[in-house]
Structure formats: structure tokens, C-alpha cells
Structure 1
């Protein structure tokens, strides 16, 4: 339907153009008449808007699950379809930029791209740094510096993440919240282990395993148990301890269909068999 036909007898074409370009808000009377001419109601118009918001939220949540499953290729493909300039919700904007920033860091992307996405959260979307997205942004910055062989800068950001983890709210949160927390626990524990801070790493691993048990969330258990195995080997724990952790890692990996951890565990076993890693 042309603008001329749509607005005939209701408003001028120039006024309709202003409605379409979001430079003028129609009165309820005019809006009702325009909707009627299009064969819909005002309620249906807002339902369509709500449906779009719901679809976007679902898409971002799916991408976040792919990030946690380390399916970066598919996650980037799905993220590329979303235009951040069209996202109205501040929460959805923060989720988008944290996802893109952290994934870019985890795949050794350009430092400038990571910094741009995450700084939008720190400086624009959450300037008071009160939401979990700021801590997820700190995680992204930490991983960026870690993967660019700047451990001191990485440690500074991981310390910010650890500060957040030490102040988790007492009230019950939803599953998505705990998965985000567990992701922070996992990557921070992994970094501490690479720096040979085994006590810190084991403490974080125990926090993560405890959260998994308390919240009945098993998704990150394979990753945490694999880190625990690596720590046990590095600390020359008894053979039975290492074997027990390996068995637990494999069991949880199969339960969660985590093929990435299964591959990592198989490689670790081969290294042990070849004597490239020592255990007591």
C-alpha cells in the first residue's frame, strides 16, 4: 500500500513520513485509524514489537549457549545477522557486546575489536559497573591480554573477576546467571593454573563444583573436573587421585555431550602414557 493510500483522509503524507522515520509520534486516534486501514489493531502492533524483542532475546541466549559450548564458528555466524544499532534494550545491547567481545578474545581476534565492544559496556551501557555484564567484560579483557602474552595485565582483570565472584548475592538467581558465573570461574581457574597459582586455581574449581552441586547445573562440571585433573598432575598428587578425576571428567563429559573435553582428556592421557607429564 502506498503512503498516499494509507494516509488518505487520516493525515497528510508528510505526517505519515514523520511517523515512519520516528521523528513524530502519532496520536492514538490516528494510530488506530492507520492500523484499521492495514487490517490490524493497535494491540496487534505492539504484540508484533514484543514478538521481535522476544525473538532477539532468544537468539542472543542461543548464541551464548554456543559460546559456552565453544562452538565459536556457528556463534559468530548467528551474531553477524544481528544489527546492534537496531537493538533497543540496554540489557540486550550489553549481552550482544559482551558476547562479541569475549568470543573475539577467545578466538585470538584483533585487540581493537575486543576493546571497542567491551569498553561500550564499561563506559556507555553500564558506567556504574553494577551488572554482571561488566564482570563478563572484565573476563573478555583478561582473556585478550592472556592470549596476547601479557599476564600482568591479564591478572589485573582476572582479579576484578575474582572480586565479583567473592560477592555473589545470597538470593537465588536464574540458571543463566549461574552459567555465566561458572564460565567466569572456569576461565579464571584456567588462567591461575597456567600461572602456576595452583592453590588459587583449586579454590576456584571447588567453588565452581560447589555451585554446580547447589544449583543442579552440570554444564561446566566436565571443564572444571578436567582443570582439577591438570592441577592434580602438576601438584604430583597420587596416581589414584588423578585416575579418579579423569574418570569423573569423562563421565560428566559424556553426560553433557561435551566432545571438546573428551578430546582434551584423551590428549592428556596420551601425554601421561608417553611420560611427557609426571604424576606421583
Structure 2
């Protein structure tokens, strides 16, 4: 319960603790409540609120509004992450005080987002490890939520970008294990977007290790998931990876060009300018002969 509104209301009415609690409870009881150490009985709290001209529901509504606002901010940040707009995502993250987040789920979201984004932008490994270890060791010690797996993804990216591929493989294997056991029951769109993000970065990692069969398997599974769940958001990314894979495997020009066309089409549909830029750069490399195709 957020007692800030309660305290502000009491002070606005120029009521001391002693005066407010007179005939209702002891001053020690009120003091403990205002210090967030002990919530009194509902009867006492109702009487205190009534004396201030407010209701108990108002206190809970204030807290609910705060949680809702944080979740809206985190939704926007997560979308920026998926669009690879890291600059905007970091700006929005910096506006959130993690110490003020009370929900455990919201805390896990905050630390996974900051940790993964820091990894994807080649940030400080100590910062990455700290953020993600808070999920593993404090917030989800039994490792039962998707945020632990997203944390594994962040650790894998951190090690991969620091050229410690064996350690990176250890974490990407954990992500692969999760992807092989997705729940059978229908999940939310947000859940599938997170799963597709794991698919994309894991497939990309496998490609960097020349594990093209594993990468193609993941890409195919991701495209299938997009189709079955009617989620097109990650199709541009997956088609772009498929294009890169086809070039690396020296597949026919016609197939490469077809994949490029599909990538561009899905990028435009989803307004994914990042993939459009990546595709244009890839085309230029092919034209200059810096990449080879059959």
C-alpha cells in the first residue's frame, strides 16, 4: 500500500499524528503505518481515512495507478527493444527509478530489459551481470518465469559479444531448452513476441558459429510461430536472417533475391526501418562482391 497520499493529506489539513489518531488508535500505531512498517486493522484504517476525508480504496487506487503507469512505460521500452531502437529505450529506462517499483514482475521486466539492452549495445559486463543476476538470484530464485530465460539470453549475448563463445553457448543452450518446451495452452501476444525475440537472437548466434542447420531450424520454427499466432512483428528479422543464411550457404541467386523481397515487404508492413537499413547494406555488400552467392 502506498501511504504517500495519506501523509500528504494529513499534512495539508495541518493535523499532527497525535491529533489524527485521537480516539481511534495509539500514535505509535499511526507512526508505524506512515513509516510503511505495519498496516493497522481495516477498522482503524477506515476511521483514519474518514477523518481525513478519504477512503481506504483511494490508497489502493493510488498504488494501482502507479503500477499501471510503470507497466505502460515498460511496454513502450520493450517495444523499442524489439524494434532495436536502443537509444529511445535507454532514455525511457533512465526515467524509471527501479527502487520505486514494487511489483516483482515489473522489477524482473525492468532488469531484463536493461540487462539485455546493455548486452546488445556492448555495454559494461559488470552492469549486465548485476542486472540479470538479480533475476536469477533474488527475484526468480526457482527460475520459473520467462524472465529468467530472457536473462539467459542477455548473458549469452554478453559473452558472444566478448568472444567467449563457449560460455555464450552455455546460456544459448538454456534458451534452446526453453524454446523446445513451450506451453501447449494459448498465451498472450506479448509472450509470443518475447519467445520470437529469443528465437531471433539464438538463430543469429548459431549462424555466427556456422551452425546453419540449427539456425535454419530456429528460423523455420519462428516463422511458423508467427503464422500460427498471427504475430508478424518478427517476420522481417527472421526473413533477414534467412537471407543471410542462404547467402552463407551459397544458395541460388533466385532464392536469395526472393528472400530479400520477402524481407523488404515484411519490414515495410511492420514499419521496421532497422531491418530495411540492414537489408540495403547487405545488398550493397553483394553488389560489391564482398559476399558470395552461388
- What TM-score range do you get, normalising by the shorter chain? over 0.9
Query: What's 1:252 paired with?
Result: 266
Aligned counterparts of 1:37 and 1:252: Cα–Cα separation in 2: 60
Residue 117 of structure 2: which of 73, 80, 103 is its match?
A: 103
After TM superposition, list the pairs within 5 Å mapping 1:10-159 onto structure 2: 10-11=24-25, 13-159=27-173
Aligned counterparts of 1:196 and 1:190: Cα–Cα separation in 2: 10
Matched-pair contact (CA < 8 Å) for 1:35–1:41: yes
Residue 269 of structure 1: which of 283, 288, 292 is its match?
A: 283
Please identify, of 7-16 and 249-258, the stretch whose mean Cα deviation from structure 2 is larger.
7-16
Scaled by the length of structure 2, what TM-score is found?
0.91
Runs of 5+ in structure 1 lacking a partner?
A: none
2:242 maps to 1:228: yes
Question: 1:145: Cα distance to partner?
Answer: 0.4
Aligned counterparts of 1:48 and 1:8: Cα–Cα separation in 2: 22
Aligned counterparts of 1:99 and 1:230: Cα–Cα separation in 2: 27
Question: 1:3: Cα distance to partner?
Answer: 4.5
Query: What's 2:16 paired with?
Result: 4
Aligned counterparts of 2:142 and 2:174: Cα–Cα separation in 1: 15
Runs of 5+ in structure 2 lacking a partner?
A: 1-11
Query: What's 2:222 paired with?
Result: 208
Aligned counterparts of 1:79 and 1:210: Cα–Cα separation in 2: 32
Aligned length: 280
2:198 maps to 1:184: yes
Aligned counterparts of 2:38 and 2:287: Cα–Cα separation in 1: 72
Aligned counterparts of 2:31 and 2:292: Cα–Cα separation in 1: 73
How big is the alpha-carbon RMSD for the aligned residues of Structure 1 and Structure 2? Answer: 1.5
Question: 1:128: Cα distance to partner?
Answer: 1.6
Matched-pair contact (CA < 8 Å) for 2:108–2:147: yes
Matched-pair contact (CA < 8 Å) for 1:3–1:16: no
Aligned counterparts of 1:221 and 1:141: Cα–Cα separation in 2: 24
Structure 1 runs of 4+ aligned residues shifted over 6 Å read none
- Please list the CA deviations of residues 238-265 of structure 1 after superposition, one character each: whole Å capped at 9, or x if unmatched: 1110000000000000000000000000
Scaled by the length of structure 1, what TM-score is found?
0.95
Matched-pair contact (CA < 8 Å) for 1:3–1:13: no
Question: 1:12: Cα distance to partner?
Answer: 5.1
